[in-house]
Structures are given as C-alpha cells and as structure tokens.
Amino acid sequence: MVIGIIIGCALILLGLFYLVKFIQKQRSKPRKPKKEKQKKSEIATKETMVKNVHLIVKSPYMMRKEVLFWKYLNTILPKQYVVVPKVSLVDLLIPDGDKSIFRLIADKTLDYVIFKEQNMSVALVLDIYDKSYGDEMLDEQDPFLREILGKLNISVESILVANDFDREKCKEQIYKALGLYVATDNSNNKDESK
C-alpha cells in the first residue's frame, strides 16, 4: 500500500515537472506580432483585388459533344430563332418576392436556350445528356429545376446526345416543341413554321 502511494506521488510529480517545462517553452517562444489594422482605403479596393486574382480560365468552355450539337442546332433552326449555349439562370431569371427558390437555382446553367430573335424571349430550353461515364459525361437536368421552369411556362426538352444521335428525330422533337413542322417533301426539304 505504501509503495502504491509512493508510485502515485512520483507520477504526479513527474506530470507537474513536464507541465512546468511545457509552460516555460511556451513563454520563451517569441510571440507573433499582432497584425496592424488595415486602413479603410486598403480594404478590398479594386486595385488590391486585381493584384491578387486567383482565377483560371476554364478550358475548354464547352465539351466536344456540346460544340457539335450547338453547330447542329444552328443549321436546323429557322432564322427567327437564336441558340445560346450555357445560359446561367442568374442572367435569365429575376427574383420576385421571396428569394429562397432563386438562391437554390441561381448557380445552375442551362445547356441551350432557344430564343425568339425578334424580342429575345425564351422559346425553348434544351437539356442534353448522354449515358456515358468519364470526362465528357453530360448529366440530365435537376428535376427540381425542371419543375421550376415548368411553373414559369418555359418548356424543357431533354435530348439524348451520344456519340451518334438520330438527327432527324432530334429535329422533329425540337420543331414539335417550338410549334414548327418539318416539310416532308424530299425534293424541297425546307423548314417551315405554322
């Protein structure tokens, strides 16, 4: 019993010894000087922001499949329509009242938006996707976003764009959504609107 008490006291003394050594080391370390407060003129000025740019240009801006599909769209659409790729919802929508839903979708980007050239109003949103895996995988659009766009009377068409896609079927799908029809006369295959 006496030996246990002696060992216990020795352990306590040893612990106190190391605690004192630790505190002495902490006191002997030079303290970092406090940062001087910045002047208001130095805080986040454009000049200081430009000096410290931490950005990289995204490359490529569009995947190869997206570029090819965009070129295809420009060849099939009538002249009264304009196709714009990668449209941010921040540029397309304005919050009206409660901003909670806008904040949820503001960072989303639409694959392609077809505008009516006359007044640049939205005619159709195209969501392209493929079922591949890897670097150039295209995902389907978020169902929540699709529902929001539907409530705003913005039509969304999903189009499967694999390495090879049925161009005529795609054209028919887009024309149908736009309220156009494809002329079936083989001798004069021009696109006409209703």
Q: Does the structure show a pLDDT above 50 at 169?
A: yes
CB burial of residue 145 (10 Å; 0-12, 13-18, 19+): middle
What three-state secondary structure class fits 129?
Answer: strand
In this predicted structure, what is the pLDDT of residue 140? 61
Q: Which residues of 72-86 are buried (b: 16+ CB within 10 A; e: fewer)?
A: bbeebbeeebebebe
Most confident of 14-28, 36-50, 139-153: 139-153
Band of pLDDT at residue 19, cut at 50, 70 and 90: confident
Q: Does the structure show a pLDDT above 60 at 39?
A: no
User: What are the Cα distances from residue 52, in Å, to 43, 55, 119?
Assistant: 13, 9, 40
Other beta carbons within 10 Å of 35: 6
User: In the predicted model, what is the mean pLDDT of residues 155-171?
Assistant: 85
What three-state secondary structure class fits 169?
Answer: helix
How does pLDDT run across 57-104, given as a tens digit for each residue?
A: 888 888 888 888 999 999 999 999 999 999 999 999 998 888 988 888
* Average pLDDT score over the chain: 80
How does pLDDT run across 110-141, given as a tens digit for each residue?
A: 999 999 999 999 999 998 887 665 444 455 66
Contacts of residue 144, Cβ cutoff 8 Å, sequence gap at least 6: 104, 105
In this predicted structure, what is the pLDDT of residue 191? 47
User: In the predicted model, what is the mean pLDDT of residues 181-186?
Assistant: 62
Contact between 82 and 115 (Cβ < 8 Å) = yes
User: In the predicted model, what is the mean pLDDT of residues 14-21?
Assistant: 80
Q: Do the bridges between strand 156-160 and strand 121-129 make them parallel or antiparallel, or are there none, so unpaired?
A: parallel
Other beta carbons within 10 Å of 99: 10
Higher pLDDT, 175 or 189: 175
pTM passes above 0.75: no
Q: Do the bridges between strand 180-182 and strand 191-193 make them parallel or antiparallel, or are there none, so unpaired?
A: antiparallel
Band of pLDDT at residue 53, cut at 50, 70 and 90: confident
Residue 178, Cα to own-chain centre: how many angstroms?
27
Contact between 137 and 161 (Cβ < 8 Å) = no
Domain chopping of the chain, boundaries: 64-193
Computed on alpha carbons and rounded to an integer, the radius of gyration of the chain in Å comes to 32
Higher pLDDT, 124 or 31: 124
Of 24-33, 94-103, 157-166, which range is least confident? 24-33
